[in-house]
Amino acid sequence: MAHVFDVRTAIYLLTALAFTITSKGGVFNIGVEGSFIISSIVACTVGILFGFLTPILLIPLCILSGIVASCIYNVIIYMLKTWCGINEIFSMIIFNYIALHLSNFIVKLDMIKSTNGADTTQRICENAMIVGRNRPVVSFILATVLCIITYLIIKYKPIGHNINAIKSNPKVALLSGINIDRTLFYTYMMSSFISGYAGGFYVLSISRRISVLSGFEGYGFTGILIALFADSNPVLLIFASLLFGAIKNAGRGLNLLNIPSQVIDLIMCIIILTSAIYYTNKRKKHGVH
Amino acid sequence: MKKNKGLFVLIASVLVLTLFSCTNSNSSQNSSNVAGNSAMKVGLITDLGGINDHSMNQLSYEGLKSLHEKHPEIEISYLESKLFSDYALNVETYVNEGYDLIITVGATFIETIMDVANEYPDNKFAIVGVPIPKEFPNVSSIIFANEESGYIAGAAAALTTKTNTIGYVQGMVNDTLNLFGIGYVRGAKSINDDINILMYNANNFADIAGGNVAATNMIKNGADVIYQMAGATGIGVINACADNDIYAIGSDTDQSPIAENNVLLSALQLGDKAVENYVLDFKNNGFKSGTIIQNIANGNIAFAYNDKAIDATVKSKLQKIEKDILNKKITINTNTKDCPEFTLDK
């Protein structure tokens, strides 16, 4: 099991959840990747600089700072949308790149740069690390709980009804007295809370340091894939992320058998293709295009 | 409809998960069989570039493959790192599978190697391409004297230029790669002290268009020989040189096929031979920790001259410089502080 199930499965679940929440409100949140990068670099910086604190203080501080950074990042995108009328997909894609290069810039700051000439930050302090052999399971359970809470909120709380109303028909939602801007703001914040949590948790539990990235690592993008595969249903996300986490990690086992790990990409493509055909056929049968 | 979707995702998940649990158990069975034969096992872990990066990852694996053909008793395999967090997991996988030697590639691996060297003192590690700043009894690093490649390239550029302006494009700024640039400056200055050197850091190894733009800008500013040390970005540099009919200097592999009339020479780094020799030495003489330098002297830094483009007298002069480096008549000062012309790290 260790080959296919690790903490990253939980990370994929969280990023997929972050995407799902906004997609409930009709926003295609491609900025999950960017807020993941920003929150992880901020959590990593805090984890290096505040090593004198005890773990009980430091771990929440790291994750909180990651969440705050991710929220600020998404607030900027939100403001660009509501104040300047810039399409959020447009600004999100650009902000992904801003996040990537900002992260690369921060990694190279003298304060946190590796002292050994590597293109990475230093390791976070012992006190900030989340350790333990069962952390894949615990983190996955935590992420699952978050998923279920989200599902309940969207299903039973007024905010959930508002989000659904905005998605299905924004004009009617406006006329029936729903404050669209505020509702969208809440969904953005929920989404950035979760992607920020994912970024912070990723640094503290597995990567322990951030390297200079030459391209996107794809935690957010895989999350989007999972969310689309599960048709944005928070409960199905749990199974879909188990599946994709396993596929992504299984490359190592294949390599050991001298099979190229690109086979993994093939398998993923086949799954996505078949599911796309399946969903399209279903929609055609019901007369929805 | 909703129900069906759920069922679909569930069934797909369960099926593929079962599939992978099967492959998994198979792999562990295989490896236990191999361990029974007590064959020597060597594993290569790539950095994020992947196994087909046309650079050090690929060269290292080709070295292992050619070794495996000559010595079939040496088991080889590789693990690709797709994400930064794969590094430690990949090392762990090889340690658990009982590999005798674990070879890693690239500067991003330094920190991981320093962690695992302490964690698994009984396993042997090697890192290709970068020096390890601290001595470990179970880590050796195979490094290249990049400044020698750069020195010859600089001398070639200075001997060929007519405008007295030469260019240099580097893929990323770090201590290992900066050696190329410093060598280039030193080589050019050794021929002509007043030479004007234009420098550009592409900060990307895969941006062909960016390389093209950078080289075109240099050509506008008068450069007529450009050296590229930038992976695929450098292909764009060579293309721009061919378009403007000026000279280019390639790196890593023989790049004259890209532009036959424009590539003067390519500074080769024979990573495959270096890794092959290293593993063979490990097999025959046991593990040696510390730094193993590959340079002109032991033949793993070499130059592919393109006779169609390079002048015969220039070529013979360069070969003489090569000999001088080999005989230690020329020593290259690699201190960045003594080299104000090298501007990329400022």
CA distance B172 to chain A (A): 10
Q: Please report the residues numbered 191 through 230 in chain B whose beta carbons come closer than 8 angstroms to any beta carbon of chain A.
A: 204-206
pLDDT at residue A76 in the model: 95
- pLDDT band, residue B31 (cuts 50/70/90): very low
Q: Which CA distances in Å does B260 have to A136, B126, B240, B256?
A: 54, 37, 13, 5
Nearest Cα residue in chain B from A206: B85
Q: What is the pTM of this model?
A: 0.77
Q: Please report the residues numbered 170 through 189 in chain B whose beta carbons come closer than 8 angstroms to any beta carbon of chain A.
A: 172, 174-176
d(CA B22, CA B26): 6
Q: Please report the residues numbered 36 through 95 in chain B whose beta carbons come closer than 8 angstroms to any beta carbon of chain A.
A: 48, 51, 77-80, 82-86, 89-90, 93
Please list every residue in chain B whose beta carbon sits closer than 8 Å to the beta carbon of residue A261.
80, 82
Task: Classify residue B50 as left (phi > 0), alpha (psi -120 to 50) or beta.
Answer: left
Asked whether the beta carbons of A221 and A92 are under 8 A apart, the reply is: no
Q: Which residue has the tokens 């005989």?
A: B327
For B149-195, what is each residue's pLDDT tens digit? 999 999 999 999 999 999 999 988 888 889 999 999 999 999 999 99
Asked whether the beta carbons of A26 and A170 are under 8 A apart, the reply is: yes
d(CA B334, CA B293): 15
Whether A3 and chain B come into contact, CB under 8 Å, resolves to: yes
CB–CB contact B5 A119 (8 Å): no
Mutation target for A interface from B76, B105, B111: give the one with most A CBs within 10 A. B111
Q: Which of A217, A246, A271 sits opposite B17 (nearest CB)?
A: A246
For A136-187, what is each residue's pLDDT tens digit? 899 999 999 999 999 999 899 999 999 989 988 889 999 999 999 999 999 9
Whether A93 and chain B come into contact, CB under 8 Å, resolves to: no
For B59-105, what is each residue's pLDDT tens digit? 899 999 999 999 999 999 999 888 888 888 899 889 988 999 999 99
Whether A6 and chain B come into contact, CB under 8 Å, resolves to: yes
Whether B130 and chain A come into contact, CB under 8 Å, resolves to: yes
- Cα torsion A256, A257, A260, A265 to 10°: value is -90
Q: Which of B26, B51, B205 sits opposite A214 (nearest CB)?
A: B205
CB–CB contact A118 B111 (8 Å): yes
d(CA A122, CA B99): 28
CB–CB contact A218 B83 (8 Å): yes
Please list every residue in chain B whose beta carbon sits closer than 8 Å to the beta carbon of residue A206.
85
CB–CB contact A252 B79 (8 Å): yes
pLDDT at residue B241 in the model: 94
pLDDT at residue B17 in the model: 58
Nearest Cα residue in chain A from B1: A282
Mean confidence (pLDDT) of chain B: 86
ipTM (interface predicted TM): 0.76
Whether A33 and chain B come into contact, CB under 8 Å, resolves to: no
CA distance B26 to chain A (A): 9
Please list every residue in chain B whose beta carbon sits closer than 8 Å to the beta carbon of residue A6.
89
